[in-house]
Every structure is written in structure tokens, then in C-alpha cells.
Structure 1
């Protein structure tokens, strides 16, 4: 009976710790999403300023590549770290893709001309930063799911000990 009480105390202490971890992960995720939202809004503001400076027709969807345009690939991609899993958790990261010699790198700002307003550069940087925040929020969300899964498992173990 004493052993069951000690096990129950250990499980309860672990549940408390995991619950606090889950709450701090939730807070961190919310903060990152707010920062990401601010970055996106700032990027949209700079994009609007560039559109105002250059004119509506010079900064529009008409400058974006279409199905008939030459092929291009992304400069950065999201990768999953399968080999670096910690306790079964996946993690994601943004990496710059190395280009082959025959591949050309297309700077999206060139779609709008060669002399673009500085606001277009600012918008690009803010959208890139928002992407970084999104990847970081995704990693925290993955950690949160794993923590919740551990909490559920410990609740089941606790219920089994209490029923005995």
C-alpha cells in the first residue's frame, strides 16, 4: 500500500509539472502568433506603400508568375528533422536550398522591376520573418501535443493505481 501511495505521489507531481509545461507552451505559442501577426501586418503595410508609390498596376497579381512562365524553385523550404526527434517529437526548420549550377535563383522583387521602392524590400523581409515565427510556433505546437499526450497517459496510469 505504501508503494502505491509513493507511485501515486510521483505521478501527481509529474502531472503537475507537465501541466505547467503545457501552460507555458500555450503562452509561448500565443506570443509567437501575435508577433507573427504583427510582422504580417507590417509586411502588408509596406506592400501597400510600395503599391501607392509605384502605382496600382505595377504592384499587383499581374507581375506574379503564371503557369506559362519559366520554372523556378523556392529559395527556402521547410524541412522535418526526423533524425533529431526528442521523445518522438518532430521538429521543423527553414533552410536555404542550395541551387545547382544550371538552376537560376529568381528574386521575387525582380517581378516588379529592377528599381523597386525600399518598402517592397521591407515587406519581403517582414514576410520572411513571419515565416520564421510560423515555423517556431509549429515546433511549439508539436511539443504541446506531445506534452498533452504524456498527460493523458499518466492520467490513465493514475486511474489504474487508484482503482487497485
Structure 2
């Protein structure tokens, strides 16, 4: 097998990988949209059940509220890979000892508020996965571009 054949074979594989990642990214965006819409719907139902002032921005913490830490944080993990490239991936850290934010709206809240919280947590997971797929897609496209330039150089030298 010649150098051109090898380069073309790798280009074909990477192009298929890029198309698969694009399809996955589209599906993830649809899942994010569904989770957000579901969360907003459950939040609206909770507001209807409890009254418009019971589920509003008035219950959210302000500058004068006591300090609290987020229950979920997202951080960037970097690791070395082959050929000196770094792999970057978002990961979630959870703190279980925090007060449930649903309690900001009272102690006897409708189940719809818990469902909304669950849907928004699900949306966060989809968003992180989508960001990771986007990163992989960018890396794959960069590799494709590099191989195309290498192919041009090999063809020009022959």
C-alpha cells in the first residue's frame, strides 16, 4: 500500500467519524430541547398549583442571602494523548450535603417541581455530553485538515 492509499484510507475513516459525531450532536441538541421544554412545563405547572408568587425569582438567593455552594459543578479535565495532543473533556462534580434548592420554594411543594428539577439536571447532562461531542468533532476536523495538507504535499512531491 502506498502513502497516498494509507492517507486516503485514514481520511475516509475520519470523515465517517466526523459524520457520526455530527449525527450524535444533532440528536443531543434535540434531547436538550426536549429536557428543557419538559422542565419548563413542569415549572409552569408548579407555578400554577402554588400561585404565581410562590414559584418566582423572589425565592431565589440574592446578594444578601447566606452563602451556599452549587450542588453540581462542571470542570474541564485534560489528559495527554498520542502525538502530543491533549484531550479535553467536561466532567460533573456533585455535592450531596447541600440543601435541596427545591426547598427555597417551601417544604410542601408539588411533585411537578421535583420533575422540573430532574428534567433540568438531565438537560445539564446532555449539555455536557454535547460539549464533549463538539470537542471531539473539532479535533476530528482538524485531523482531516492536516491529512488533506499532507496528501497535497505527497502528491506534489510525486
- With normalisation by structure 1, the TM-score equals 0.90
- What are the superposed Cα offsets for residues 61-119 of structure 1, whole Å, 9 maximum, x if unpaired? 111011110010111111222237575220111121376xxxxx221111101100000
1:132 to 104, 125, 134: 125
- How far apart in 1 are the matches of 2:135 and 2:32? 17
- Residue number in structure 2 paired with 1:57: 53
- What are the superposed Cα offsets for residues 112-145 of structure 1, whole Å, 9 maximum, x if unpaired? 0110000000000000000001001111111101
RMSD: 1.5
Residues 5-154 of structure 1 mapped to structure 2, 5 A cutoff: 6-83=2-79, 87-97=85-95, 105-154=98-147
- How far apart in 1 are the matches of 2:93 and 2:10? 36
Between the two proteins, the alignment pairs up a number of residues equal to: 155
Offset of residue 41 of structure 1: 0.2
- Unpaired runs of 5+ in structure 2? none
- With normalisation by structure 2, the TM-score equals 0.93
